[in-house]
């Protein structure tokens, strides 16, 4: 029975991590119609930014600033590189984001190298949350589950119950009408792309210790 319960916990956790990893891609694709092939690269950037910040000031500041940095990078990519490609259609967008993934990978390897770097679980969460029948469950896994659920709830209510979500959804289907109401549609797309990349960054930061990827994808 205890094996079933712990397997259930692990399955739910892994499913929520996959949701967190896919949420950025889904937000960008469903809101903007852009299939971002560099999606995993922003996941990787989140992990490396978090490692670098944690190495200097600790895990908790990294939890805040690493996704923000990834979001800023994503917004800059949309504003100065992806936006001029929009008018050439989806094939051009796919080719651009596919090439961007290789560029980001090379930059990461130039900065951090090809050898895995130590990005450890914070000491405050590297404890047992609960034990049952001699099996321990990590507090860090509970933390990841709570973060994933919180982001799911925030995305749902943000996109369906707020004015910002209404503007984002309307900008995709009726961009000219939204622009005539005084909203800057290109800026809406830029920050939507940035938020999607920031979600990838969160997934890379808190999920890398579970997903266990390699250099060129994330860190171990």
The pLDDT tens digits of the residues spanning 88-113 come to 888 898 899 999 999 999 999 999 98
DSSP 117: -
Mean per-residue pLDDT, 43-70: 91
Per-residue pLDDT, 100: 94
- Is 203 a member of any domain? yes
Listed residue (123, 116, 104, 85) closest to 197, CA to CA? 104
- Is 47 a member of any domain? yes
Of 187 and 115, the structure prediction assigns the larger pLDDT to: 187
Mean per-residue pLDDT, 14-36: 80
Q: How far apart are the first and last CA of the chain?
A: 32
Pairing of strands 135-138, 128-132: antiparallel
Listed residue (200, 211, 147, 205) closest to 21, CA to CA? 200
- Is 218 a member of any domain? no
DSSP 139: H
User: What is the number of structural domains in the chain?
Assistant: 1
Strand-pairing partners, residue 147, are: none
Query: Domain residues for 182?
Result: 2-32+39-211
Greatest mean pLDDT among 77-81, 116-120, 142-146 lies in: 77-81
- Is 220 a member of any domain? no
Residue 219 scores a pLDDT above 50: no
Per-residue pLDDT, 215: 42
The CA distances from residue 48 to 51, 109, 118, in Å, are: 5, 11, 10
Is residue 207 within 8 Å of residue 20, measured between CB atoms?
Answer: yes
Q: Quote the tokens at residue 57.
A: 């000031």
Residues 136-185 pLDDT 10s: 777 888 888 889 889 989 988 988 889 888 888 888 778 888 889 888 88
- Is 75 a member of any domain? yes
Q: In whole angstroms, give the CA distance from residue 51 to residue 59.
A: 8
Q: What global pTM score does this model have?
A: 0.86
| Mean pLDDT score of the chain | 83
Per-residue pLDDT, 2: 64
Taken as a whole, the chain contains a residue count of 220
Q: In whole angstroms, give the CA distance from residue 207 to residue 171.
A: 32
- Is 93 a member of any domain? yes
- Is 14 a member of any domain? yes
45-66 b/e (C-beta count within 10 Å ≥ 16 → b): bbbbbbbbbbeeeebeebbeeb
- Is 126 a member of any domain? yes
Per-residue pLDDT, 109: 92
Q: In whole angstroms, give the CA distance from residue 121 to residue 144.
A: 11
């Amino acid at each position: 029975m205890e094996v079933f319960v712990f397997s259930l916990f692990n399955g739910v956790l892994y499913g929520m991590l996959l949701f967190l990893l896919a949420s950025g891609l889904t937000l960008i694709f469903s809101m903007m119609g852009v299939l971002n092939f560099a999606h995993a690269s922003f996941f990787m950037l989140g992990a490396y930014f978090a490692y670098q910040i944690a190495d200097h000031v600790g895990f908790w500041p990294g939890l805040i600033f690493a996704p923000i940095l990834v979001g800023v990078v994503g917004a800059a990519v949309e504003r100065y590189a992806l936006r001029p490609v929009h008018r050439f259609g989806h094939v051009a967008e796919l080719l651009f984001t596919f090439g961007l993934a290789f560029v980001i990978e090379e930059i990461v390897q130039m900065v951090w190298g090809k050898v895995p770097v130590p990005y450890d679980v914070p000491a405050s969460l590297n404890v047992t949350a609960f034990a049952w029948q001699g099996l321990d469950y990590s507090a860090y896994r509970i933390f990841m589950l709570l973060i994933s659920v919180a982001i799911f709830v925030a995305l749902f209510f943000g996109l369906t119950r707020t004015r910002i979500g209404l503007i984002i959804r309307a900008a995709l289907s009726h961009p000219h009408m939204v622009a005539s109401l005084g909203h800057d549609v290109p800026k809406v797309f830029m920050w939507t792309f940035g938020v999607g990349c920031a979600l990838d960054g969160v997934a890379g930061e808190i999920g890398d210790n579970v997903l266990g990827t390699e250099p060129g994808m994330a860190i171990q």
